[in-house]
Amino acid sequence: MDLELFEQYFAATFGDQRLSRGERSALKALVEDLDPTPEQRLELVGRAFATARGAAARARPGQVLTWLEAVVRLLLTTAGSKVADAVFAPHQDCALRLRKLFDAASRSVDVCVFTITDDRITRAILRAHQRGVALRIVSDDLKAFDLGSDVHRLAQAGVPLRVDRSEDHMHHKFALFDQRLLVTGSYNWTRSAAERNRENLAVTDDRRLVAAFREEFERLWRDFGRR
């Protein structure tokens, strides 16, 4: 994260020793967009104090404190991640949550799962494909031939598919919706996982997690495309 960008913003907003409504909104949007780590937020607070100290001699103390209080409050309370949900099978409907995510997707979905046999989820994938959502699926080559597996059915419908072609398993279970939401957990996309197994599914828009899983998906997509 570019801490210098915040320093420049602090200096610019301190010009009149107050944080206007527009400046407050812009700073909040910047924090939400860059989503600093807790350590980075503390560093930014330190830099805000440094800005205030540097200008204290030429500004009224009350105005300095008012500006500093507003900036620090925004830095420490503005949340970058807004989605953080957990769903547990079998007493909660993981399959329904996945179907809703596919139905809400508008641009892209990258799926990386061990197996897909739940026809309800498969139909949601096909609906997204028919709407023009850019889909890609990475799966396990051996599980693709299990009775009831839907991955080849999806490939025949035109959904791009790559498998590992290895004696080892591609055992991931995650998906990225519109490059914004990550779904991951123990949950396999099967009827048994939905109705009998003890499983978990986590949904988050945490940028760092989304970026890490996106990098892993792209690595697998490249590697499996070479074989």
Catalytic residues, by residue number, are 171, 173, 178
Read off φ and ψ for residue 148, nearest 5 degrees: 90, -5
Maximum distance among all Cα pairs of the chain, rounded to whole angstroms: 76
Which contiguous run of DSSP H or E holds residue 100?
Answer: helix 94-104
Q: How far apart are CA 94 and CA 97, in angstroms?
A: 5
Q: How far apart are CA 18 and CA 23, in angstroms?
A: 9
Q: What is the CA radius of gyration of the chain?
A: 23
In 3-state terms, what secondary structure has residue 118? coil
Residue type, 16: D
Of 123, 88, 86, 124, give the one whose Cα is nearest residue 104. 124
Query: Are 204 and 181 spatial neighbours (Cβ–Cβ below 8 Å)?
Result: yes
| Rounded (to 5) percent helix, strand, coil in the chain | 55, 15, 30
DSSP state of 116: B
Residue 37's region, left for phi above 0, alpha for psi from -120 to 50, else beta, is beta
